Chain A
Amino acid sequence: MQKVKLHSKIQNFKFLIVIFIFSFLFLNLATKATQAQSLSLSIWPPLLEVMMQPGKSITQVYKLKNNGETDLAFTSSIVPFKPADELGNIKLENSRLPPWFSFQNANLDLSQKFLLKAGETQEVVLKIKVPEQTLEKDYHATLLFETIPGVFLGQSGMQTQAKIGSNILLTVSQSGQPLKKAEIVKFAIRNLKIRQLPIIDSFTKPQFLLRIKNTGPALFKPAGAITASGWFGQKYVLNLLPENVLVNSTRLVGCENQIDAKFLLGPYKTKVEFGLDTLETDYSAEITFFALPIKFILGIIIAVVVIWFVKAKLGVDKRLL
């Protein structure tokens, strides 16, 4: 009888262990997987710059990778954009582009849904075919890949989706050398010390503000430099960043480097010179700024005032004594 009871206890214990292991695995591993879930995408290349003749076509391979832990469904689209600001950001538009864009994949068309398993990469071959008689100008678009959300029922909430896009800067030109024109909207010093006077502190590196407007029919990259020349023959050359300036837009253009000096003194004649896509001096503007040891002088003045005040105070105290 006791043997039967013992056997029964062992059986119950075994059952409990199985339940415990099952619960442990389910509650821990399953929960961790949910919490670690992320939606992670990569795209290559993120920017494509193309110049094409009307009537020609090109293909470009794009790679979309699902870096997350779960399989994802996607759809794709081509959406026109225009510059959103002067920093190179885009504003996607609701309008449609002409049907020049298509996928060359055997089993995938543009806008068609597709599944991308976790860790896998989908290559798509984008074909751009510009018809004959196409107006010679710039066309800007973004190739977007968008996740398709699953079903979301039974509670209040928000479904989140991710879109990742690659910008396409397409110039249609018969000659391959479209007219390029620019205008320097502003060339100035950002960090002026005394209101609007062109004065900076000697210990401060000047920060230049260069705004370039594209007044021609095709995008360009400024190629040139800002040169600051001091009284004593010092010369500092700051190369302009080759940033795209789109048609009818203005772009803040920065420099690749900064003035490499810890102390500046006196007037600095500063000239910006650049060409459009080629290192020329077709466009230029000049300003002069003064570097003065303002902080140092202020420190001296404060020190003199303090010393004068202390001396005066000591003089009064002595007289009182």
Chain B
Amino acid sequence: MKKKILLILVALFALAGFFFLRPKKISSQIYPSLTSASATLSNSRLSFYGALDVGVSAGATTIVLDTDGTRADESTSHLFPNDTVSVGPNDNFTVGGIIDATTFFLADGLTVGADTGATIYATQSGTLTVAVTTVSDIPANGDIIVTIADPPSGEGNDKAPDSTSSISTNGFDFNGITTANITCPTNWTAESATAGSGDGHTVICNATVGTTGPTALEVAIGVGGTGLINPAAVNVGHTAGVADIYTINVKTRDASNNTKDEVDVKVAPVEAVLVSATVDETLSFTVAGRGAGTTSCGKGAATGIVSTATSIPWAVLSSANTFYDTAQQLTVSTNADAGYAVTIEENDQMGKNGKACSGADAGEAVNCIKDTTCDGAACDEDEEDDWETPANNGLGISLEDETDSDAVFQYNVESGGCEGVAATDFCARQIADMAASETKANIMSNTAPVSGSSVYVCYRISISATQPAGYYYNKVKYTCTATF
């Protein structure tokens, strides 16, 4: 019994290992004929193909890439230490290391000089394994023909990777492959291996014995040390990390070359980005106080109230039904393509001695300064309204664009319930109250990169004459994140 269980476990482990270790199959497009078709590259990394920015002399080790916008590779992001490169007439030199985005160095000095614009390439080659299951019978002397995407005439068998402006005209370099570098199915023989001239490299395996469908067949191209050379990225419209997809046509024929079954399968070489792609971007966020004498949202800071980067010190609110104003300045810079967003939240409403204020509208009756509901009793953390009557007590914020236009609303612009007709307007919102499970709202955002985009967050408070005396405080948090 134990032996059986052990046997089953070993079998399962072997099966799992097979699926795990086997190189991943690239998406296949299955036509009505041949089934279970797949094409697998043992090395799916795109070749590197760039050019020399400035000519170099014999002995040079520092190589700078040309960045004129016409090359498949104009940065070193797809070149790694120990890669083998050719620089102009110098073949088989080892990359010693990467210096920066466009410069790398060689382990040894060049044998001869190379001119400006000379080609720099690093080939990536391997075996292409095509597997199909036939539907129709194939008689003796029938064959299977594999047609591989190739570059234009004259370039597809020069043992150097190729790059054109479009996937439809680009392809693999045949690298001098002969029938000795082809493995055909059992009882089949490699009949020919022909480099293409723009219409595809072809490999033919001949059936010495007929087969009946369905039969699984597998052809490996590029065995025996001479692999198929992967193309470099296309030099127009290629996105690093996104695969260029090439078509491999597989066809079975009878002895008179009549097609029996056919299928197109696809292979997708990509840069050597295996499982992780980091977007090389930064995000900077600054909170700053607004000093005495400054004006934000059309209001000067109240006397004696000078904000800092970490506090809004209301000090003593000595007059009832009077607005006290102050502000902070937020500044964001990011080169993230999708932009950024800043949200605001408060841990609770302002409570006497920091005590909890239960509910979203806890007021002076429970020793709290409530969040404003504005003049129309209609504003909240998501919706703005005019707030220009001091007798409508509470705490709220407004916004003003200092540079750019990233504020989600503005103190004097018509939006939501705000009229936005005068410079004296104060279009306000609440701050999302986390204790009341309110949702943090954006106060500042952009869907594109920004440099020094700045917004004033204008705080306003007003209390009634019956507000119990004491120290009231809470915590406000700004959260700045990049947009995904």
Other-chain contact of A88, B24, B285, B289, B339 (Cβ < 8 Å): B339
Other-chain contact of A157, B276, B336, B473 (Cβ < 8 Å): B473
Q: A42-B285, A46-B482 are in contact. List 7 more A-B contacts (CB 8 A).
A: A37-B308, A45-B278, A48-B278, A58-B275, A60-B278, A153-B471, A166-B283
Q: Which residues of the other chain, A, contact B310 by a CB distance below 8 angstroms?
A: 37, 39, 147, 149-150, 159-161
Q: Which residues of the other chain, A, contact B459 by a CB distance below 8 angstroms?
A: 158
List which A266-282 residues lie within 8 A (CB) of chain B: 277-280
| Known A-B contacts A155-B471, A277-B242; A43 and B24 likewise in contact (beta carbons under 8 Å) | no
Is the beta-carbon distance between B484 and A90 smaller than 8 angstroms? yes
List which A139-165 residues lie within 8 A (CB) of chain B: 140, 142, 144, 146-147, 149-150, 152-165
- B282 contacts the other chain (CB 8 A): yes
- B279 contacts the other chain (CB 8 A): yes
| Known A-B contacts A45-B280, A87-B447; A157 and B484 likewise in contact (beta carbons under 8 Å) | no
Interface centre among A44, A56, A223, by most chain B C-beta atoms within 10 angstroms, is A44
Cα–Cα distance between A299 and B284 once the two chains are bound (Å): 49
Is the beta-carbon distance between A165 and B284 smaller than 8 angstroms? no
Is the beta-carbon distance between B440 and A92 smaller than 8 angstroms? yes
List which A162-182 residues lie within 8 A (CB) of chain B: 162-167, 169, 175-177
Is the beta-carbon distance between A159 and B475 smaller than 8 angstroms? yes
Q: Which residues of the other chain, A, contact B187 by a CB distance below 8 angstroms?
A: none
| Known A-B contacts A44-B281, A47-B484; A158 and B311 likewise in contact (beta carbons under 8 Å) | yes
Q: Which residues of the other chain, A, contact B317 by a CB distance below 8 angstroms?
A: 156
Is the beta-carbon distance between B309 and A160 smaller than 8 angstroms? yes
Closest to B337 in A: A241
Cα–Cα distance between A149 and B347 once the two chains are bound (Å): 13
Is the beta-carbon distance between A39 and B283 smaller than 8 angstroms? no
Cα–Cα distance between A206 and B315 once the two chains are bound (Å): 54
Indicate the size class of the contact surface on chain A.
35 or more
Is the beta-carbon distance between A50 and B314 smaller than 8 angstroms? no
A-B contact pairs, 16 of them (CB 8 A): A40-B286, A40-B288, A43-B284, A88-B339, A88-B483, A89-B341, A153-B471, A157-B473, A159-B311, A159-B473, A160-B475, A162-B287, A164-B285, A164-B479, A223-B242, A242-B239
Is the beta-carbon distance between A155 and B313 smaller than 8 angstroms? yes
Is the beta-carbon distance between B483 and A39 smaller than 8 angstroms? no
Is the beta-carbon distance between B478 and A87 smaller than 8 angstroms? no
| Known A-B contacts A38-B288, A156-B316; A46 and B476 likewise in contact (beta carbons under 8 Å) | no
Indicate the size class of the contact surface on chain B.
35 or more
Q: Which residues of the other chain, B, contact A243 by a CB distance below 8 angstroms?
A: 338
- A317 contacts the other chain (CB 8 A): no
Is the beta-carbon distance between B243 and A159 smaller than 8 angstroms? no
Closest to B437 in A: A94
Is the beta-carbon distance between B311 and A89 smaller than 8 angstroms? no
Q: Which residues of the other chain, B, contact A163 by a CB distance below 8 angstroms?
A: 477-480
Q: B309-334, CB under 8 A of A: which get 1 and which 0? A: 11111111100000000001001001
Closest to B307 in A: A160
List which A54-82 residues lie within 8 A (CB) of chain B: 56, 58, 60, 67-68
Is the beta-carbon distance between A161 and B282 smaller than 8 angstroms? no
Is the beta-carbon distance between B484 and A167 smaller than 8 angstroms? yes
Q: B65-82, CB under 8 A of A: which get 1 and which 0? A: 000000000000000000
Is the beta-carbon distance between A40 and B284 smaller than 8 angstroms? yes
Please give the distance in Å from A109's CB to the nearest CB on chain B: 22
Q: B100-133, CB under 8 A of A: which get 1 and which 0? A: 0000000000000000000000000000000000
Q: B330-367, CB under 8 A of A: which get 1 and which 0? A: 01001011111100001000100000000000000000
Q: Which residues of the other chain, A, contact B287 by a CB distance below 8 angstroms?
A: 38-40, 160, 162
Closest to A168 in B: B484
Please give the distance in Å from B452's CB to the nearest CB on chain A: 12
Cα–Cα distance between A245 and B369 once the two chains are bound (Å): 41
| Known A-B contacts A89-B483, A156-B316; A45 and B282 likewise in contact (beta carbons under 8 Å) | yes
Is the beta-carbon distance between A146 and B306 smaller than 8 angstroms? no
| Known A-B contacts A38-B288, A243-B338; A158 and B283 likewise in contact (beta carbons under 8 Å) | no
Is the beta-carbon distance between B481 and A157 smaller than 8 angstroms? no
- A246 contacts the other chain (CB 8 A): yes
- B245 contacts the other chain (CB 8 A): yes
Is the beta-carbon distance between B285 and A157 smaller than 8 angstroms? no
